Amino acid sequence: NSFPTRSAVILGIGIVGASLFFGDAVITPAISVLSAVEGMNVVTPTFQPYVVPLTLAILAILFSAQRFGTGGVALIFGPITAVWFLAIGLSGLNHIIADPEILLAVSPHYIVAFLINSPDVAFVTIGAIFLAVTGAEALYADLGHFGRKPIVLAWLAIVFPCLLLNYAGQGAFVLAKNGVVGHPFFEM
């Protein structure tokens, strides 16, 4: 009598596990690459017909390169990623220099005032922050084969400072445009 129930539970766990694996292995990379390529539409709308083909080409190259192991991919992808983080950090720094008042945003006073004065907007904002954090988690979900020291060093020396500069720069950019910005990351 308990065998069918146990089988259903095991089947349910297997389906959930397969769904999580599918999301991590296929959907997350596809959405990430598609989002990055769609940003090119901000530069020129004539790029629209090439978004999906270019996304498919990038994904095909990335997935086919994985068969050579992480060492081969890291030789190429590591420097590209470092240049990317430095570029977005410098882009943000440019706007922070133009409006350094944005750095006051890290004061807990403003966070508490925002939560008290605009609870509805704060609720939606916290949801967006949660999505940003889970997106960052997806970046690091597969780093288990690296040691702790290189991960901490890369995070503290490049990734974290560059992300902070870029996020603060986006804030300064949006304030300079009186909040009327469609895609601050790509428009900066």
pLDDT for res 89: 95
Quickly state the pLDDT bin for 165 (edges 50, 70, 90): very high
CA gap 92, 164 in Å, rounded: 8
> Which whole number is the average pLDDT over 41-48?
84
Centre a 10 Å sphere on the Cβ of residue 112 and count the other Cβ atoms it contains.
10
Predicted confidence band of residue 136 (pLDDT cuts 50, 70, 90): low
**Quick one: CA torsion of 174, 99, 112, 180, rounded to 10 degrees?**
-10
For residues 69-96, give the mean pLDDT. 86
Number of structural domains found in the chain? 1
Question: Shortest CA distance to 151 belongs to which of 41, 52, 74, 91?
Answer: 74
Write out the residue range of the structural domain in which residue 85 sits.
2-187
Check residue 172 and give its pLDDT.
93
Query: How far is it, in rounded angstroms, from Cα 85 to Cα 81?
Result: 6
Q: What's the pTM value of the predicted model, to 2 decimals?
A: 0.67
pLDDT for 141: 57
